[in-house]
Amino acid sequence: MCGIVGLFLKDKALEPQLGALLSDMLITMTDRGPDSAGIAIYGPSEAGSGKITVQSADPAMDFKGLKVVLTKKLGVPVSVTVRATHAVIAVESGKLDAARTALKELRPGITVMGCGESVEIYKEVGLPKDVAARFKIGAMAGTHGIGHTRMATESAVTTFGAHPFSTGPDQCLVHNGSLSNHNNLRRELVRNGLRFETENDTEVAAAYLSHKLATGSNLGAALESGLSDLDGFYTFVVGTKSGFGVLRDPIACKPSVMAETDGYVAFGSEYRALVNLPGIDAARVWEPEPATVYFWEH
């Protein structure tokens, strides 16, 4: 069944509240998927600086001394901010790929959740309220974010099966539904150089959009092309560094609602996810149309 939410802020005054607002939206969707939960936050970025969000099943071992060994390996300053089982590694943007390679060698138990200039991704098995509290999501600021609470259908209940999925810099996706052609698409994308960490169909959708974005499409065009290339039933909410997009399949059997004010655009699987947002009583509220791309950019 799954529950998905998204919030794109147009009013900078709301940015300090992003984590708190998004967490509340996702917690409201808990009964749609109690298996695992995750949130992506697009926060402040610095010119020339990148970051990698990583996860470890043994953070006490894997994160100990990580700053020192990575700095030595890369030859540039590195910072490591630990948040429970996750850590955010900050390094100059030109060293992101080298840092990912070094992590595989130095800490093979670490898994990359996402990387880029602004995105941080936190996800674990458990209820949204517990995941949000563990990573202190409510205290995070940012411009936009997406979240997901999962009822597993296509793969095991694990951290790595949780959403959001990220397969490109500052890109991530959450999904309610099921793709029927994900195995064929995965093989095609692998031939185009994409890498996969799981058997989850949502990772294939994320990689498909990453491939389209990498080959010249903007977010709107990438979502539009998905209507002809992705088979199944789905509602996607997608984040990029500057953008936020929504797409439902042509049948649109999964519930969805959106709201827009001068301050934000919000998405929820159900209206109750939106009821605590500021100014919601005056918002334009609608059900997104089937096979119609919606996207906003800063």
Instruction: Walk along the chain (298 residues) and give the pLDDT tens digit of each residue.
Output: 799 999 999 999 999 999 999 999 999 999 998 889 999 999 988 889 999 999 999 999 999 999 999 999 999 999 999 999 999 999 999 999 999 999 999 999 999 999 999 999 999 999 999 999 999 999 999 999 999 998 766 667 778 889 999 999 999 999 999 999 999 999 999 999 988 988 889 999 999 999 999 999 999 999 999 999 999 999 999 999 999 999 999 999 999 999 999 999 999 999 999 999 999 999 999 999 999 999 999 9
Closest CA to 165 of 116, 212, 201, 128: 201
Q: What tokens appear for 292 in the block?
A: 């119609």
Q: 178-185: which pairs have CB atoms within 8 A and are 24 or more residues apart?
A: 178/153, 178/154, 178/232, 178/233, 178/234, 179/204, 179/205, 179/230, 179/231, 179/232, 179/234, 180/231, 180/232, 181/230, 181/231, 181/232, 182/154, 182/232, 185/229, 185/230
Closest CA to 151 of 138, 143, 161: 161
Cα(246)–Cα(288) distance, rounded to whole angstroms?
Answer: 8
Helix axes 182-191, 201-214, angle to 10 degrees: 40
| Catalytic choice (2, 115, 172, 253) | 2
Report the SS3 class of residue 41: strand
Angstrom distance (rounded) from CA 94 to CA 71: 14
2 is catalytic: yes
Q: Tens digit of pLDDT for each residue in 115-146?
A: 999 999 999 999 999 999 999 999 999 999 99
| 191-217 as b/e: b if 16+ CB within 10 A | eeebeeebebbbbbbbbbbbbbbbeee
Go through the chain and tell me how many residues it has: 298
* Residue 49, strand partner residues: 92
pLDDT tens-digit readout, 143-167? 999 999 987 666 677 788 899 999 9
Locate 92 and state its tokens: 């100059």
- Within 57-118, strands assigned E span 79-83, 86-92, 110-116
How far is residue 207's CA from residue 204's CA, in Å, rounded to a whole number? Answer: 5
Q: What are phi and psi of 296, to 5 degrees?
A: -130, 150
Establish whether the linkage from the previous residue to 288 is cis, with ω within 30° of 0: no
Structure tokens at 193: 């150089």
- Tell me if 38 sits within 8 A of 131, measured CB to CB: yes
Q: How far apart are CA 280 and CA 298, in angstroms?
A: 21
